[in-house]
């Protein structure tokens, strides 16, 4: 029996990186997958990869920073699949590197708008539906930087700390309603976000960041996806309010 057989899964930012790996993994485990993302050049190829594992997969264009756009996306999932069982609120951006005193209000609000407000928007509408059936599993994508600081990334750090706090609060609020809420805190993962952040394509910077991981390498999207499947499935039925660290030992130091 596949772990997510006949479950309906909603994944934001699912066309690349961690989100795509999680969407593929969910489809392999028998889930109907709804990928919510902005349209990009990754769209056709990503959806082909997901549908190869389970043809019952759809794409929904959605900007998670918009409360009404997320509401519409969740309504589409329920209308298409008849239910919403699992949600991965994964959408996030890196933002400009700057010290707090030099960071623009625009740069701050942009990252908070996607990385924190976007998670709230998704949870609000996901919980609204899951309450009607008294079951569900929500997984929010935080980061190791949701637990420690990192210079020149105050907006990202603040948002990811906020995601863990939001996860814990919601876990307490909905524990008796059959809804589990958890987070994942990845270390630095080899994804397009590292390239955009100027880490993966700069050898000296890359080696410095890798050195912060005792295992001695970046993680892979597939390793995060394995954690997602665990938290999404009944394998983690007694787990709620936690932030699962998948970080190569980064936070153990």
pLDDT the model gives residue 192: 75
pLDDT lower than 50: segments of the chain: none
Report the C-alpha gap between 185 and 244 in whole angstroms: 6
The contacts of residue 44 (CB under 8 Å, 6+ apart) are none
Interval 124-164: pLDDT, tens: 999 999 999 999 999 999 999 999 999 999 999 999 999 99
Interval 48-69: pLDDT, tens: 999 999 999 999 999 999 999 9
In the chain, where the domains are located:
8-191+220-252
pLDDT the model gives residue 176: 98
pLDDT the model gives residue 198: 65
Separation in Å, CA 55 to CA 17, 27, 32, 44, 100 = 20, 8, 8, 14, 46
Report the C-alpha gap between 51 and 53 in whole angstroms: 5
Name the CATH superfamily for 8-191+220-252.
NAD(P)-binding Rossmann-like Domain (3.40.50.720)
pLDDT the model gives residue 191: 85
Q: Which positions are catalytic?
A: 156
Report the C-alpha gap between 246 and 135 in whole angstroms: 26
Backbone angles phi, psi at 83, to 5 degrees: -165, 165
């Amino acid at each position: 029996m596949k772990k997510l057989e006949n479950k309906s899964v909603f994944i934001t930012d699912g066309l690349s990186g961690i989100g795509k790996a999680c969407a593929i993994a969910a489809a392999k485990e028998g889930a109907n997958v709804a990928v919510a993302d902005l349209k990009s050049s990754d769209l056709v190829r990503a959806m082909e990869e997901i549908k190869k594992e389970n043809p019952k997969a759809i794409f929904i264009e959605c900007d998670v920073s918009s409360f009404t756009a997320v509401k519409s996306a969740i309504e589409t999932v329920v209308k298409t699949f008849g239910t919403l069982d699992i949600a991965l609120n994964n959408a996030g951006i890196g933002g400009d590197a700057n010290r707090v005193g030099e960071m623009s209000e625009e740069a701050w609000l942009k990252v908070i708008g996607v990385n924190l407000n976007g998670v709230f928007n998704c949870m609000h509408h996901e919980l609204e539906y899951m309450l009607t059936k008294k079951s569900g599993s929500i997984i929010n994508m935080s980061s190791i930087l949701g637990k420690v600081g990192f210079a020149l990334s105050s907006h990202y750090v603040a948002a990811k700390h906020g995601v863990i706090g939001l996860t814990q609060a919601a876990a307490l609020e909905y524990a008796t309603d059959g809804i589990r809420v958890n987070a994942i805190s990845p270390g630095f993962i080899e994804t397009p976000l590292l390239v955009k952040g100027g880490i993966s394509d700069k050898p000296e910077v890359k080696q410095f960041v890798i050195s912060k991981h005792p295992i001695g390498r970046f993680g892979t999207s597939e390793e995060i996806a394995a954690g997602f499947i665990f938290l999404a499935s009944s394998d983690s039925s007694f787990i709620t309010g936690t932030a699962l660290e998948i970080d190569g030992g980064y936070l153990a130091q």
